[in-house]
Structure 1
Amino acid sequence: MLQAMHVKVEATLMAPTKFFDERTDQSEVKARIVQKYFYVWAKVIIPSVKQRGKKIAYIDLYAGPGRYKDGSASTPLMILQQAIEDPDLRSMLVTLFNDADKNHTSTLQAEIDKLNGIERLKFKPHVNCGEVDADAVSYFNETRLIPSFTFVDPFGYKGLSLKIVNGVIKDWGCDCVFFFNYNRINAGISNPAVKTHMDALFGEERAEKLRKLLPEKSPEKRQELVLEELAQAIKAMGGKFVLPFRFKNAKGTRTSHSLIFVSKHFKGYEVMKDIMAKESSVMDQGVPSFAYSPADASTPLLFSLARPLDGLKHELPKLFSGKRLSMGHIYESHSVDTPFIKKNYKDALLALETEGKIKTTPAKRKKGTFADHVIVAFP
């Protein structure tokens, strides 16, 4: 499978695809999230890399043919176009695109060759055809990768495993985002024919736990439990920060699939959280849904009456009672695994300050501001 892998640490890849017939709104949102994060990630990491090996990588294990039938570019071409236009990326970016379908890889190569300015890239894009199999798992887990952002976007679940995710994030500067088809997983978790795939994705113990618990759960609770177990499995493996972005069906009643981000560093988590927040269909008191729903987008007033910012405002004084902390510390220590972004914390603390429920240093600031260094004293 990895017969074409003579590009060292620049990485590898592999598997099928089917959704390139037309570009849906969900496909556009997914592509924007990946592209935006890649660019910010690259800009954050490049200054450090310039002192090291002077290479970074973008890896796409299920790259597809490059374009949808309507002619719009998919993620690989979007990433390469970004690289062509940026001086640092032109000289530092190694790209590895894989797909199991030979028609896809040959079409992708042809589309890459046609990109205006592609010859300006220092490292020629590498296109590989192969499955994401045991060899791929071994390669990623045994090879020290250069700083890489990896996109794993299988059509179903074949090839997606905890070991693959661990392999692509284990080294310094390496982050990953992968597509998680909830509908396929939900149908497969109790199917003996795909037990091996489910065990590889969740780990045997967690997969067995899900098989026992899911049948008695409502559809909504099934979704929550599956995503929670997946996130916990990734964290147990070393992916400290896990952030899912859900895509819902046309009626907005159920999650059909999710894009799941994994990083070992809070900075990456913060950056992706802001990106996903902006791509959310709706906000409730400025708190993002971290979901794209055609129904929510068309009827945002029906989204929620939960008023989550009020909940945050009430929770912070209880949680940090008697403590003096900076706004930045409060945000970083509390925001992980919550839907709240930095602006939500500033808004909540401003409200608490106005109500006289906290004291701040410095107390005199430009109206409406709450910088990261401002000290908050909770009674």
Structure 2
Amino acid sequence: MPQAKFFDERSDQSEVKARIVQKYFYVWARVIIPSAKLREKKIAYIDLYAGPGRYKDGAASTPLMILEQAIKEPDLRDMLVTLFNDANKDNTNALESEIGKLVGIETLKYKPQVSCGEIDEDAAKYFSETNLIPSFSFVDPFGYKGLSLKIVNGVIKDWGCDCVFFFNYNRINAGISNPAVKSHMDALFGEERAEMLRKVLPEKSPAKREELVLEELAQAIKAMGGKFVLPFRFKNEKGTRTSHSLIFVSKHFKGYEIMKDIMSKESSVDDQGVPSFTYSPADASTPLLFSLARPLDSLKEDIPKAFAGQSLTMQQIYERHSIDTPFIKKNYKDVLLALEVEGKISAEPAKRKKGTFADHVVVKFP
């Protein structure tokens, strides 16, 4: 699909993507602002592939949604620095025009910055060498040009900085073995990982290819300092294959927890209350295509083994066990309640409001 048509009409998937980014920005800002007030008194939203601001059907894209949100909030009006970039001059001109039309835009202390340029090695060098104020960055290239480990690491390296980027699985899956785009693949995965993928992917099934590509991407990001990596997948119209993913990267568990909660609510389906972290247009008509694996049962079996002989709070159990799993905090509380009823664990305080399991409750495993 030509990039020019990307903004013709807003799809359900585009709406889900925009909601995830907007919701996280708002919660992230509320968490960061109190500490930022004691530092630079600034926070930032950075969008490196901002687009024209609106789809042709009139719907606002992410930059305008973020600014509209900032106009409504006193702290954001006073503290938010915004940087919007796009390589297409028509897009940046349109975006500047749309920003100027926003009611109340003049109330922002810092005027939105709109730039036009390619996201290339120079951009990666800039973010690697510049100390950023607390920033939430959205990196949403149409394909893979400009998306690199250096860019991701550069925008998350400083205090309070998180990132979410668009990972076009279809194009990257096709590009891994294409010599013409070798440099782009090497920049995204690192040369060694990219070469390994070229060797092993041809013999894998489509499902295993996707699993391996996302795993190697996550490990590459973690090796550069992105401690927490969380993907959210989008399926094609039939729900048979992943078309693209949003990948969230943070250095702190709090950010991971917040985004996990947001993505779980945007998932098309869940199994025993465990979210799929996937949006699929097909799920509404064929919900049983998800899985009948009963993942909560496996969590219930695993927790007593993982923490045998230990005493920990519910929050400690969640933080230590949930990383790189689909399980959310509610899943852990449900499982611990069930284990308590069955007498397989003890909990203090034992007397609590029925059906509750607060974060501070101490669990003792035999």
Q: Deviations over 1:329-348 (max 9, x none)?
A: 00000000000000000000
Question: Helix, strand or coil: the match of 1:331?
Answer: helix
The answer as to 2:150 corresponding to 1:132 is no
Q: Which amino acid aligns with 1:324?
A: S
The answer as to 2:327 corresponding to 1:340 is yes
Q: C-alpha displacement at 1:236, in angstroms?
A: 0.2
Picking from 251, 270, 274, the partner of 1:264 is 251
CA distance, structure 1, for counterparts of residue 147 and residue 345 of structure 2: 47
CA distance, structure 1, for counterparts of residue 78 and residue 153 of structure 2: 28
1:331 aligns with 318
Q: Which amino acid aligns with 1:177?
A: V
CA distance, structure 2, for counterparts of residue 39 and residue 18 of structure 1: 29
CA distance, structure 2, for counterparts of residue 69 and residue 331 of structure 1: 44
1:47 aligns with 34
Picking from 16, 24, 27, the partner of 2:14 is 27
Between 290-299 and 276-285, the greater mean CA deviation after superposition: 290-299
Q: Which amino acid aligns with 1:377?
A: K
Q: Deviations over 1:140-183 (max 9, x none)?
A: 00000000000000000000000000000000000000000000
2:54 aligns with 67
Pairwise mapping of residues 1-379 of structure 1 onto structure 2 (< 5 A)? 18-379=5-366
Q: C-alpha displacement at 1:18, in angstroms?
A: 4.9
Between 30-39 and 291-300, the greater mean CA deviation after superposition: 291-300
Q: Deviations over 1:280-302 (max 9, x none)?
A: 00010000000000111332233
Identity %: 83
CA distance, structure 1, for counterparts of residue 349 and residue 70 of structure 2: 43
Q: Which amino acid aligns with 1:169?
A: I
Q: Deviations over 1:182-220 (max 9, x none)?
A: 000000000000000000000000000000010000000
Aligned length: 364
Q: Deviations over 1:83-136 (max 9, x none)?
A: 000000000000000000000000000000000000000000000000001110
Question: Helix, strand or coil: the match of 1:42?
Answer: helix
Q: Which amino acid aligns with 2:258?
A: V
CA distance, structure 1, for counterparts of residue 281 and residue 121 of structure 2: 38
Unaligned runs of 5+ in 2: none
CA distance, structure 2, for counterparts of residue 292 and residue 113 of structure 1: 34
Q: Which amino acid aligns with 1:328?
A: Q
Between 265-274 and 352-361, the greater mean CA deviation after superposition: 352-361
Question: Helix, strand or coil: the match of 1:242?
Answer: strand
TM-score, normalisation: structure 2: 0.98
Q: Which amino acid aligns with 1:54?
A: K
Q: C-alpha displacement at 1:322, in angstroms?
A: 1.1
CA distance, structure 1, for counterparts of residue 15 and residue 216 of structure 2: 28
TM-score, normalisation: structure 1: 0.95
Q: Which amino acid aligns with 2:355?
A: G
Unaligned runs of 5+ in 1: 1-15
CA distance, structure 2, for counterparts of residue 364 and residue 299 of structure 1: 43
Q: C-alpha displacement at 1:357, in angstroms?
A: 0.7
CA RMSD of aligned residues (A): 0.8
CA distance, structure 2, for counterparts of residue 319 and residue 138 of structure 1: 42
| Structure 1 residue ranges, 4+ long, deviating more than 6 angstroms after superposition | none
